[in-house]
Structure 1
C-alpha cells in the first residue's frame, strides 16, 4: 500500500503533468495537505521532482520484478510487464517528460539498471526468434518505455479508458516488434545498450 508520502507524490504528478509550472500551493491542495506540510515533506520544488523520479523508477523496478522478465518465454514476459506497468503509466510519463531528473546521478544510475533489464528481455526474445532482429534491442526498449508513457498521458487526457490500456499497449507494440513468420531467424544486431535518457515532451 502506498505511504502518505507516496500519495502526495502521485498527486503532484497529476498536477505537474498537466501544468509543469504549477505552484506548490496548487500541488498541496491536490494532495489534500497544507503548503507547510508539503514543505516539511519536500523542502523545495527540486526535491519534490527528484522524489517523484525516484518513486517512478522504484515502481517500474517493481513492475519488472512482478513480471519476472528474466523468466520464461519473452513474449509472455512482455505481456506480464505490460499488465504490471500500466497502473503506474503516469509515473513513466513523468520520467519521460521531466529532463531535470537526469541531472541527478542517483536517478541516472537507477534508470540505467531498469532499462538494462528491459534491454536484456528484448535481446533474449531476439535470440529466441520472438522479436525482430533488424530492430536493435536498445531501440525496442526505448520504444516500449515511451509507449507506456504515452498510455499514461492518454489515460489522463481521457483519450483512452484505463480498462483498455494494457490491451492497447500490448497489441500496438507487439504488432511491430514480433518477428514475421517469413523472416529469417538469426543473431540480433550487435548494438550496445543505449544510454539515452527519456526526452519525450508531454503532449
Structure 2
C-alpha cells in the first residue's frame, strides 16, 4: 500500500472515529477529500470501513508483535508498544470505536469478542510477567493494569484529536501517568 493510500485511510479512520455515523458524502467532507476521490477508493461506506479495518488490524498486530511483550524487558516493551500504538493512533482509535459500536448495535458485549479478548490476553500476560519480575506493582490485578493502560491510551488519543495535548508529548505523558501508578516501589 502506498504512503498516499495509508494517509487517505488514516484521514478516513479519524473522520469515522469522530463521526461514526457519517454517510459517505459526510465522510468525504470530514476527511477533507472530494466524494470522487473517496469513490475511487471505495463505492460504499461499508467498503471504506472494511478497508480501514483490514489495514488497521494489520497495523495493530504489527505493533503488538514487534513490541517484545513476551521476551523484552517490561519497561522497554511497554515503551515500544506505547510508541507503536500512538504512531497508528488514528487506526487504533478507529478500531476501538468501530468495534464498540458494531457489537453494541448487535446487542453484544464488545469485551467478549475474540478480537478484544486476543489483545487483552496479550497485554494481561505482559503485565503479569512484569509483576512476576518485580517491575509492576503486584498489589494491583494485572488485568486491571491491562485495561487501565488501554483506556489511558484511548483517552490520550481522544485528547490529542481535540487539540488538548501535543502529539509529541503523548508517549511521555502515557508513560508518566501510567507508570507513576503501576511501577513497583523498588523499580
TM-score (norm 2): 0.79
Deviates further, 94-103 or 10-19: 94-103
Q: Which aligned pairs between 1:86-97 and structure 2 lie closer than 5 A?
A: 86-97=86-97
Task: Find the aligned partners of 1:133 and 1:56 in 2 and give their Cα distance.
Answer: 33
Deviates further, 67-76 or 38-47: 38-47
Asked whether the 8 Å contact 1:95–1:101 carries over to 2, the reply is no
Q: Hey, what does 1:24 align to over in structure 2?
A: 24
Q: Hey, what does 1:78 align to over in structure 2?
A: 78
Q: CA RMSD in A?
A: 2.8
Q: Hey, what does 2:123 align to over in structure 1?
A: 118
Distance 1:119 1:165, change over 3 A: same
Q: Hey, what does 1:52 align to over in structure 2?
A: 52
Shift of 1:31: 5.6
Task: Find the aligned partners of 2:25 and 2:140 in 1 and give their Cα distance.
Answer: 46
Post-superposition CA distance 1:38-60 (Å, at most 9, x none): 34644433343344334333222
Q: Hey, what does 1:34 align to over in structure 2?
A: 35
Which structure has more RCO (C-alpha within 8 Å, separation ≥ 6)? 1
Alignment length, in residue pairs? 179
Asked whether the 8 Å contact 1:49–1:101 carries over to 2, the reply is no
Task: Find the aligned partners of 2:17 and 2:88 in 1 and give their Cα distance.
Answer: 13
Q: Hey, what does 1:200 align to over in structure 2?
A: none
Task: Find the aligned partners of 2:138 and 2:166 in 1 and give their Cα distance.
Answer: 33
Q: Hey, what does 1:144 align to over in structure 2?
A: 149
Post-superposition CA distance 1:51-93 (Å, at most 9, x none): 4334333222211223222222112211121122111223222
Q: Which runs of 5+ in 1 are unaligned?
A: 183-203
Q: Which runs of 5+ in 2 are unaligned?
A: none
Runs of 4+ in 1 over 4 A off after TM superposition: 1-5
Asked whether the 8 Å contact 2:63–2:85 carries over to 1, the reply is yes
Task: Find the aligned partners of 1:97 and 1:150 in 2 and give their Cα distance.
Answer: 12
Q: Hey, what does 2:136 align to over in structure 1?
A: 131
